[in-house]
Structure 1
Amino acid sequence: MPVNPRPTSPLDAASVTAALGAGTPWRVRSIGTTGSTNSDLAAEYLAGTIAPGQVLIAQEQTAGRGRLGRGWQAPYGSSQILSVLVRPDGVPLAKRGWIGALLGLALVNAIGERCGIRAQLKWPNDVVLGDSKCAGILAEVVGDAVVVGAGLNLDVHLDEFPPPPIGSTSLPPVSLDTQVPNHASLERVELAAATLRSFTVLLDMFVAAGGDAVASRIRSLYTLQCRTIGRAVRVELPDGTAVVGVGHDITDDGALVVRTIAADGASSLRTFNAGDVVHLRPIDPPDPPGRPGALPVWDALGGR
């Protein structure tokens, strides 16, 4: 039974499949409560019971995982929790780290398309509204495939967000329903379908280019939507040290380039493949979180 039932309709497989329309490459399945949709798909694929193209949607997740093994939970019916199993044939393993970014871009596009809200990306795996986090993404290699999942806060109540750990530098959470213009209701099914349609386009672009993030324009799209670029940041590294600078660029393999200033005033560029990024202060006035009528991300480059 739902622990915290919502008045809105759940994300059921039949409704999402119908919204996707004919010709969709996705096979959608929905469940009630699970530990982790990523873990479910990974186990099923390794057991040989599902094939690439499977999408799993859950109403509640009790043991979700973020980066670095962090836990993540979502009350029943409060979030868009979905994972996708893909096998990007022809994309080298070293290039598959971009697949999480593809789902991030798909969420940004779907939120703009269906909600009229300007969402952006925070390197490496968050979707943000202004300086608050509305979604997290985790991609994992499973054999010759990749499972990528996202949890998007739809109408999580303030008292349902867990308190941050002492000393945490994580962004404060935000729920999408608090940002929708004119307090319109969220079209949950259409939002999920828009996410999968956008992911399809971006994945096709990426695979067609053999995983080349430049030739596919994925790097340009990501950089365009990345709020970390141009921000004063502190990169907290796995060894416990930290580097302060300004987000400068994203490399072809998805690493973050930070410009640092030494004590003598000398400027240098440092590249980070892993680490937690804390946005410090805006270099310029921040973009407003809401931008009704946001264009699909690839339209900004004159694409599809």
Structure 2
Amino acid sequence: MWQVRRVEETGSTNVDVAELARSGAAEGTAVVAGYQRTGRGRLDRTWEAPPGSSLAVSFLLRPRDVPVERWPWLPLLVGVAAVDAVVGLTGVGAKLKWPNDVLVDERKLAGILVERVDTPQGAAAVAGIGLNVTQRRDQLPPTATSLFLEGAAGIQPAEMLEALGDRLAERYAEWHDHRGDPAAGIAPAYRQRCATLGRQVRVEFPGSDAAEGVAADIDDTGRLVLQTGTERRVIGAGDIVHLRPV
């Protein structure tokens, strides 16, 4: 389903695809960059990798037949597709930290940013993924890892792109066919791949606020349900720190 545009270098593939979306690009348009200068993650964090060492790609989605209240599942869906692509292609045991960081043994392998874009043809979504492929230890922070470091030394970004595109197309088609109903497939798939559920966690909010509790569940809109003593708190956004299993 993807029409891939390849560029050697860009500021942000998400920005590029958003501009294409506003210009009328069709669903399935994708931009992949050999080097991304100012990649962005959740909470406006920047992301950068040495040229040619990672997969930096953004996909344009136009889920017109899905009620807008179900669109918050898209970031989780992309996370599931990324985990399935990594496991299927490399055998590396990737999992998700809510909402969609891809981890291997608590080190970050990939980050995902899904953004809504208003266009003359209606609202669209841009799904961006930055996945570490060939970086060595000295090219990454201590909290990150790459496929190379996890034993998949022969994998290149182009192979990872093909696997990711296939898995994302499958998950998106299923979700779209069920008009975004999470119970029809994506919610159970996400719960199976989420390393956060069942953990004692700390949720750090913008500013200095934080909350601790057990990550008990994912609700019908993809939000994290935090059990804090006798109360349940629904978390829509925040940084998750895994503390220990319960």
TM-score, with structure 2 as normaliser: 0.94
Instruction: Give the secondary structure class of the aligned counterpart of 2:47.
Output: strand
Task: Indicate the residue corresponding to 2:150 in structure 1.
Answer: 179
Using the TM superposition, give the Cα deviation of residue 135 of structure 1 relative to its aligned residue in structure 2, in angstroms.
0.3
For residue 80 of structure 1, give the secondary structure of its aligned residue in structure 2.
strand
Q: Distance in 1 between matches of 2:38 and 2:141?
A: 14
Q: CA deviation at 1:162?
A: 5.3
Q: Is the 8 A contact 1:237 1:274 kept in 2?
A: yes
In the superposition, the TM-score normalised over structure 1's length comes to: 0.76
The Cα shift of 1:159 comes to 2.4
Which residue of structure 1 aligns with residue 46 of structure 2? Answer: 71
Q: Secondary structure at the match of 2:27?
A: coil
The aligned length equals 242
1:268 is aligned to 231
Residue 93 of structure 1 aligns with which residue?
Answer: 68
Q: In angstroms, what is the RMSD of aligned CA positions?
A: 1.5
Give the structure 1 partner of residue 140 of structure 2. Answer: 161
CA contact (8 A) 1:114 1:187 kept: no
2:219 pairs with one of 235, 251, 262: 251
* Runs of 4+ deviating beyond 3 Å: none
2:167 pairs with 1:204: no
In structure 2, the residue matched to 1:218 is: 186
Structure 2: unaligned runs, 5 residues or longer: none
Q: Is residue 52–residue 85 contact of structure 1 (8 Å, CA) maintained in 2?
A: yes
More strand by proportion, 1 or 2?
Answer: 2
**Does 1:279 pair with 2:239?**
no
SS across alignment from 2:37: strand
Equivalent residue for 2:114? Answer: 139
Matched to 1:211, the amino acid is G
Displacement, 1:191?
2.2
Code of the residue aligned with 1:42 in structure 2: it is: A
Q: Which whole-Å CA distance do the structure 2 matches of 1:179 and 1:162 have between them?
A: 15
1:184 CA displacement:
4.5
Structure 2 match to 1:32: 8
Kept in 2, the 8 Å contact 1:79–1:153? The answer is yes
Deviation at 1:239, TM superposition (A): 4.8
Instruction: Give deviations 1:9-40, integer Å, cap 9, x for gaps.
Output: xxxxxxxxxxxxxxxx1101111111100001
Partners of 2:76 and 2:187 in 1: CA distance: 9
Equivalent position SS for 1:40: helix
Q: CA separation in 1, counterparts of 2:227 and 2:74? A: 26
CA distance in 1, matches of 2:153, 2:49: 22
Cα pair 1:255 1:272 within 8 Å, conserved: yes
Cα distance in 2 between the residues matched to 1:225 and 1:162: 24
- The Cα of 1:97 is off from its aligned counterpart by 1.6
Identity of aligned residues (%): 42
Q: 2:84 aligns with which of 99, 102, 109?
A: 109
Aligned to 2:161: 192
AA of the residue aligned to 1:207: H
- In 2: Cα distance, 1:194 partner to 1:47 partner: 28
Q: Contact 1:32–1:58 at 8 Å: present in 2 too?
A: yes
Q: Does 1:82 align with 2:45?
A: no
Where structure 1 has 5 or more consecutive residues not aligned to the other structure, the ranges are: 1-24, 164-171, 262-266, 284-304
Larger radius of gyration: 1
Distance between the aligned counterparts of 2:46 and 2:153, measured in 1? 31
Which of 42, 48, 52 matches 2:18? 42
> Which amino acid in the other structure matches residue 45 of structure 1?
A
